Structure 1
């Protein structure tokens, strides 16, 4: 069962969907989730939510401020701390609902939001458990590795050029991914990313826009979850990584996992799975979703 679930966030209105198990009665443990780079709530999250529902856990998925159906004058701007604030405001909204057990709240994130939920686990004591799927954990090293030294220098130069232009009131934009990454700068220079997200836009998520502000890329360069991981003590954490992930880099993710202090932690390595097959191959999506269902059913 799907219910519209809109709520305020820092002066804007967030559009959300509550996925509730069919026939469920009373208060349920509830997982808050949002997507990664330029996602809307229709991308992957509904597939994961339906499987998590099978464990008796409901899921609230939402669009960040400035994305999808949520309000926000500045569109397609990814400020990680605003997105983390949106998550926290979603938690506050969930606490207010009569069908939510406010003592059993969790968070799930994928890709960029996979990093966000690790930070949330450190800073918001309402969260009892998180699942982090193929997370971005170190923006600088992630992008340097993804672009290679020469194109990474081009990206940094473009970001600096945009900063100078913003001082004069002109904001630039950059593609999320390009099919010709040596001809067109993008944040994620993988043709497969563009190909898959264009398919997703056509079939599932028409409000997806395949670009962001250039400042979003600048903010990503300064994004790191590492300072927060030793503070994750009382929250249970599952990290799901893909063995063939050359986008967010599962070796960086494994290093981050080892920094988490909590004894209630588990890492699942999906053999033969890539970052993008989690979106394009429903079998791979379902494998990750089943891990999430089992974790939340146990921990919440």
Structure 2
């Protein structure tokens, strides 16, 4: 019987909290670590995946990064990708010491921003034995330029520079911007897509009350320095499944497929979900279940519960 328990662990001096789905509370099992994308909290879509993995005999740890949701951190709603990657690594360190976890069979799952993190983890952490990277962010600079277009991109950079000035002149103060907005011409946001704000605000109302539609402006500056390109070329031996939404123009499916093709490992697989957008992988449960089944089958094949 699957059991979900509350857990917490230390990540560079900050307490990070999550849920551990135990496939079998009486023995060690392979385990997958899951964390979310831009501003996500643990309730957003990930429980569907965690339950699917646990039902197949694989434990699943879903956690909130520092500064988000139920986790500690004084710099609320600040998204530093390398801090998030280290949170993943500290989650693995926590699991290595857990009585119900086989430390030699640990995998990583990521979606959107964390889909990129999963690729980086496959390259830099040999404890990661297999990954699923779903609709990943590949190149933050290129992504922001194309997502915002010329005029909105100018406005975004103006906001970034104003935030830099404020943080220098008044240490401890910072600017914030929405995760997404209905009217990108009138309001600068990180991800200027109306379907994004509609989907996540609906999820907030129904199941994720701790989600906040905002981040620090510096988070976007850090995103524009984020690029998985140098790392995917180092994935030689880690089994890698990438799940892409056909025509995804939020995290850019052409960049995703390009990154997949740069992975030198023969232990890789690409799944392109037809008639699926980036956001329907949150809003349409039938599509979520298809992706969850693909990820489950990959982890069953590579972690062998």
TM-score tier, shorter chain, comes to over 0.9
For residues 277 and 55 of structure 2, the distance between their equivalents in structure 1, rounded to whole angstroms, comes to 25
> Paired residues, what number?
299
Give the match for residue 297 of structure 1.
300
Structure 2 equivalent of residue 7 of structure 1: 9
Counterpart-to-counterpart distance in 1, 2:263 and 2:177: 33
Q: Which runs of 4+ in 1 moved over 2 A?
A: none
CA distance in 1, matches of 2:243, 2:236: 19
Look up the match of 1:130. 131
The one-character-per-residue Cα deviations of 1:269-289 (angstroms, maximum 9, x if unpaired) are 000011100110000101110
Check conservation: 2:152, 2:184, Cα contact below 8 A: no
d(CA) in 1 for partners of 2:103 and 2:25? 16
| Stretch of structure 1 that moved more, 147-156 or 204-213 | 147-156
Distance 1:131 1:25 in 2: 27
Instruction: Please tell me whether residue 221 in structure 1 is matched to residue 224 in structure 2.
Output: yes
Distance in 2 between residues matched to 1:267 and 1:49, nearest whole Å: 21
Structure 2 contact 276–287 (Cα < 8 Å) conserved: yes
TM-score (structure 2 length as normaliser): 0.97
Cα RMSD of the aligned pairs, angstroms, is: 0.8
Which residue of 2 is the match for residue 69 of structure 1?
A: 70
Displacement, 1:24? 5.3
Preserved contact between residue 33 and residue 62 of structure 2 (Cα < 8 Å): yes
Contact 1:53–1:293 (CA<8 Å) still a contact in 2?
no
Take 1:241 and 1:20, find their aligned partners in 2: how far apart are those partners? 28
Give the alignment of 1:37-186 within 5 angstroms.
Answer: 37-169=38-170, 170-186=173-189
1:250 maps onto 2:253 in alignment: yes
Question: 1:54: how far off?
Answer: 2.6
Decide whether the 8 Å contact of 1:54 with 1:293 is kept in 2: no
What is the CA distance between 1:25 and its match in structure 2? 3.4
Distance of 1:222 and 1:187 partners within structure 2: 14
How far apart, CA to CA, are the structure 2 residues paired with 1:265 and 1:5? 32
Whether 1:191 aligns to 2:183 is no
234-243 vs 49-58, greater mean Cα deviation: 49-58
Separation in 1 of the partners of 2:258 and 2:25? 39
Structure 1 gaps of 5+ residues are none
Q: Spell out the pairing of 1:203-214 with structure 2 (5 A cutoff).
A: 203-214=206-217
Cα offset, 1:245, TM superposition: 1.4
SS in 2 for 1:69: coil
Q: Under a length normalisation based on structure 1, what TM-score does the superposition of the two structures give?
A: 0.98
Match of 1:283 in 2: 286
